[in-house]
Structure 1
Amino acid sequence: MAWTRVFLLGAVLVLSSFCLAAGQITHPSEVTALRAIRRKLSDPKKRLNNWKSKDPCASNWTGVICSMNPNDGYLHVQELRLLNFSLNGKLAPELGLLSYMTILDFMWNNISGSIPREIGDITSLNLLLLNGNQISGSLPEELGNLTNLNRFQVDLNNISGPLPKSFGNLTSCQHFLLDNNNLLGYLPPELSQMPNLKILQLDNNNFGGTEIPESYGNMSKLLKLSLRNCNLQGSIPNLSGIPNLLYLDLSHNQLTGSIPSNRLSNNITTIRLSNNMLSGSIPSSFSGLPHLERLSLENNLLNGSISSAIWENVTFAANATLTLDFQNNSFSDISGSFVPPSNVTIKLNGNPLCTNANALNIVQFCGTANGEDEAPGSPDNSNITCPSQSCPLNDHFEYVPGSPVSCCCAAPLGVGFLLRSPSISEFPPYTDQFKAYITSNLGLVPYQLCIDSLIWQKGQRLRLRMYLKFFPQYNNQSNTFNTREIQRIIDLIATFTIPVDDIFGPYDLLNFTLVGPYSDGISKGVIAGIVLGGLSFATVIVLVIAVVFRKKQPRHGRKDSKQQPFSKTAVIIEGVKGFSFGEMEIATENFSEANQIGQGGYGKVYKGILADGTVVAIKRAQHGSLQGEREFFTEIGLLSRLHHRNLVSLVGYCDEEQEQMLVYEFMPNGSLHSLLSARSRGTLTFVTRLHIALCSAKGVLYLHTEAYPPIIHRDIKANNILLDSKLNAKVSDFGISRLVPVTDGEEVATAHVSTVVRGTPGYLDPEYFCTHKLTEKSDVYSLGIVFLELLTGMQPISHGRNIVREVTAACQSGAMFSIIDQNMGPFPSDCVKKFMTLALRCSQDLMKDRPSMLEVVRELENISSMLRQAGHSRSESNTSGSGISGMGTSAVYPGRNSYVSGFPGSDLVSGVIPTIRPR
Structure 2
Amino acid sequence: MIQGSNHSVIPGLPAGYLHSIFGYSSTVEHRRAFVFDAVAALNALKSSWQNLPPNWIGPDPCGSSWEGITCTNSHVTSIVLAGMGVIGSMSGDILSFSGLQYLDLSNNKDLTGTLPPSIGNLKNLSSLILVGCSFFGPIPDSIGSLQQLVFLSLNSNSFSGSIPPSIGNLSNLEWLDISNNKLNGTIPVSDGTIPGLDMLVSTKHFHFANNLLYGAIPPQLFSSNMVLIHVIFDNNQFTGNIPFSLGLVQTLEVVRLDWNSFSGSVPSNFNNLTSVNELYLSNNNLTGPIPNLTGMNFLDYVDMSNNSFNVSDVPPWVSRLQSLTTLLMEHTQLQGQIPVNLFSLPHLQNVVLSNNHLNGTLNIGTSYNNQLMLDLQNNSIANFAQSAGYNIELTLMENPICEGAGASERYCSVSQPSNSSFLTPSNNCTSVVCSSDKVSSPNCKCAYPYIGTLNFRSFSFSNLTNSSYFIFLEGSLMSVFLSNLLPVDSVSVSNPTINIYSYLQVRLQVFPSGQDYFNRTEISTIGTLLNRQSFQPLSYFGPFYFIDENYCCFAGPNKSSNIGIIVGAVVGSFVLVLLLVCAGIYAFHQKRIVKTATEQNPFASWSPDKSNGNAPQLKGARSFSFEEIKKCTNNFSEANGIGFGGYGKVYRGTLATGLVVAIKRAQQGSLQGALEFKTEIELLSRIHHKNVVSLVGFCYEKGEQMLVYEYIPNGTIRESLSGKSGIRLNWMRRLRIALDSARGLAYLHELANPPIIHRDIKSNNILLDEHLDAKVADFGLSKLMGDSEKGYVTTQVKGTLGYMDPEYYMTQQLTEKSDVYSFGVVLLELITARAPIEKGRHIVREMEEVISKSKDPHNLHGILDPTIGLGATLGGLEQFVNLAMSCVKESGPDRPTMGEVVRKIENIMQLASLNENTESTFASSSNEEEAERNSNHPYGNEAFDYSGGFIPFDIQHY
Q: What's the TM-score bracket when you normalise by the shorter of the two chains? A: 0.3 to 0.5
TM-score by length of 2: 0.46
TM-score by length of 1: 0.48
